[in-house]
């Protein structure tokens, strides 16, 4: 999972890209980069680490120009520690193209082989984003007829890209002297939204992974980029668009609503916060049906993304809601850290317990999901150590039994606690007295109820149904 951002304005855009990436830092903490264009010249600053750690005053001064793109990296393909895989990527021909990518390609290996053997393009990293950039560049080269690129050439290139690429992708690209480009996979798996802002002459335009980045910069939300669509923002502020794939179907990733996106974002017309509230209400109804509420003293969320669901669950059960875990804001999210040893070690550094909310109480702990189970087990252990007499654990999403190949760090099924285990076996493994999961049908139906224009939801990690055909 990554964050992408692109902007075309009438004033320098370096600070705005920086601010947008800060607003979307939750989508990736491993690396970041900003590229701006001033005339035909591009300026690049990239590095491994958080936005606040990479960019210095001298860097910002060098990032001159009235258009640019930015990226925060959460590695799901390639080498997590590689500086060379920090995005955006650049290729010099044709015209000079810079690209940032959110998602995963499912045919990356075959594409890389073809790029070398047939297209005569060298891929320097293990990143599928570099492959995607080179596919785009190759298709654009095929359609290039002069010294200057045109919108029609871009649309034809993206159409060619769709014929070759499989998987999930939401991208921003930039060609110096031309403009910023955004495009999205034909299934709409990864989010991409367009915003506009009045300037003295016309409009500034921006494209982002989440609406919160646009609103934080004073942009009015125009619309989401459609599945299979390519949008172009020219230097003079004109917005052009075209559907470039032969088939389109809007199936956003359910995990955006469960966990990844900020609660104040709206993705494909659905408020993430409202979706999480509804998940909590539905989960509360199931808890009440299975366990009642007479033996639960308090509802406690695992911060932060489970808070809306836990709050609604507590209201449904009419049981007090309490903040039993306090989060250290200066520790990274454990879910996106590479390496199981680091993940396990960081839980107690990340969370501390409020003893009075656990001692001699029957507690219901609510989390958005249970992936590997390592963090959940340590949280349960913390509750026991603080004196909880009974621990019930509720997940706002169903058991995750399948790997995700579209940009979430679930590379193998064997890493998942729910893989090849019954719910009773998962309960025993976690060491809880009761375990309640959300029902998949209920969750899908509830989220879809917010927007009738959606064709479905990408939920392969729950049901094993890979909509792009990968099994």
pLDDT one-digit tens code per residue, 378-390? 999 999 999 999 9
pLDDT at position 336: 47
The residue whose two tokens read 């258009």 is 67
Q: Which residues pair with 32 in a beta bridge?
A: 47, 72
Helix, strand, coil percentages for the chain (3-state, nearest 5): 35, 25, 40
Q: Please, are residues 98 and 173 in contact by the beta-carbon 8 Å criterion?
A: yes
Cα 144 versus chain centre, distance? 33
Residues serving a catalytic function are 2
Specify the DSSP class assigned to residue 26.
G
Helix/strand/coil for 390: strand
pLDDT of residue 143: 84
Backbone angles phi, psi at 91, to 5 degrees: -135, 140
For 126, phi then psi, to 5°, come to -95, 10
Token pair belonging to 6 = 């692109």
Q: Which helix (H) or strand (E) holds 428?
A: helix 423-430
Q: Dihedrals φ, ψ of 168, to 5°?
A: -115, 130
Q: Are 200 and 221 in contact (CB under 8 A)?
A: no
Which is it for strands 298-301 and 362-367: parallel, antiparallel or unpaired? parallel
For position 293, what pLDDT does the model report? 73
State the burial class of residue 266 (Cβ atoms within 10 Å of its Cβ: 0-12, 13-18, 19+).
buried
In whole angstroms, what is the distance from residue 367 CA to residue 309 CA? Answer: 8
Residues 182/6, Cβ–Cβ less than 8 Å: yes
User: Counting beta carbons within 10 angstroms of the beta carbon of residue 354, is it exposed (0 to 12), middle (13 to 18) or buried (19 or more)?
Assistant: middle
The CA-based dihedral angle spanning residues 426, 428, 431, 433, taken in that order and rounded to the nearest 10 degrees? 100
CATH topology of domain 275-459: Rossmann fold (3.40.50)
How far does Cα 82 stand from its chain's mean position? Answer: 20
- Spatial separation of the C-alpha atoms in residues 20 and 2, rounded to whole Å: 13
Q: Among candidates 121, 115, 125, 110, which has minimal Cα distance to 166?
A: 110
pLDDT score of 430? 96
Instruction: Say if residue 330 is exposed, middle or buried (CB neighbours under 10 Å; 0-12, 13-18, 19+).
Output: exposed
What CATH number labels 3-249? 3.60.20.10
User: 3-state class of 375 per DSSP?
Assistant: helix
Q: What is the pLDDT of residue 471?
A: 47
- CA R_g for the chain: 23
- CA–CA separation, 45 and 73 (whole Å): 14
Domain with CATH 3.60.20.10 in the chain: 3-249
Weakly modelled stretches of the chain, pLDDT under 50: 334-337, 471
The per-residue pLDDT for range 213-236, each reduced to its tens digit, is 999 999 999 999 999 999 999 999
pLDDT digits (tens, 9 = 90+) for 172-207: 999 999 999 999 999 999 999 999 999 888 899 999
Task: Give span(s): CATH 3.40.50.2020, the chain.
Answer: 275-459
Q: What is the CB neighbour count within 10 angstroms for residue 342?
A: 11
């Amino acid at each position: 999972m990554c964050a992408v951002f692109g902007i075309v304005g009438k004033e320098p855009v370096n600070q705005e890209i920086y601010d947008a990436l800060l607003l979307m830092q939750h989508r990736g903490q491993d690396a970041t980069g900003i590229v701006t264009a001033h005339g035909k010249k591009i300026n690049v600053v990239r590095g491994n680490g958080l936005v606040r750690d990479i960019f210095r005053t001298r860097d910002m001064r060098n990032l001159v120009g009235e258009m640019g793109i930015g990226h925060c990296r959460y590695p799901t393909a390639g080498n997590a520690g590689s500086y060379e895989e920090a995005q955006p990527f650049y290729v010099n021909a044709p015209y000079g193209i810079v690209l940032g990518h959110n998602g995963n390609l499912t045919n990356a290996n075959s594409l890389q082989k073809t790029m070398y053997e047939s297209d005569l393009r060298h891929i320097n990293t293990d990143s599928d984003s570099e492959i995607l950039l080179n596919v785009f560049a190759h298709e654009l080269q095929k359609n290039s007829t002069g010294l200057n690129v045109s919108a029609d050439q871009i649309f034809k290139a993206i159409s060619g890209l769709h014929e070759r690429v499989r998987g999930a992708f939401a991208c921003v690209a930039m060609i110096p002297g031309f403009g910023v480009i955004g495009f999205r996979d034909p299934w709409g798996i990864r989010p991409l939204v367009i915003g506009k802002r009045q300037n003295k002459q016309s409009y500034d335009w921006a494209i982002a992974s989440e609406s919160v980045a646009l609103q934080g910069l004073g942009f009015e939300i125009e619309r989401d980029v459609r599945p299979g669509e390519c949008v172009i923002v020219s230097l003079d502020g004109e917005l052009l668009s075209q559907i470039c794939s032969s088939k389109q179907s809007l199936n956003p990733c359910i995990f955006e609503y469960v966990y990844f996106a900020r609660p104040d974002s709206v993705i494909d017309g659905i408020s993430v916060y409202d979706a999480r509230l509804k998940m909590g209400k539905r989960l509360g109804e199931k808890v009440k049906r299975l366990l009642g509420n007479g033996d639960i003293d308090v509802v406690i969320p695992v911060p932060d993304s489970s808070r809306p669901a836990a709050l609604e669950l507590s209201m449904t059960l009419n049981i007090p809601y309490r903040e039993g875990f306090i989060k250290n804001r200066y520790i990274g999210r454990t879910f996106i850290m590479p390496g199981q040893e680091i993940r396990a070690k960081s839980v107690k550094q990340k969370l501390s317990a409020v003893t009075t909310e656990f001692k001699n109480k029957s507690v219901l702990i609510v989390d958005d999901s249970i992936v590997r189970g390592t963090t959940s087990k340590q949280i349960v252990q913390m509750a026991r150590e603080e004196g909880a007499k009974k621990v019930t654990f509720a997940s706002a999403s169903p058991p995750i039994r399948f790997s995700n190949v579209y940009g979430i760090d679930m590379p193998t099924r064997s890493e998942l606690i729910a893989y090849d285990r019954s719910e009773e076996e998962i309960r025993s493994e976690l060491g809880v007295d009761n375990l309640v999961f959300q029902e998949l049908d209920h969750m899908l139906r509830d989220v879809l109820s917010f927007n009738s224009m959606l064709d479905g939801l990408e939920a392969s990690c729950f049901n094993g149904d890979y909509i792009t055909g990968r099994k």
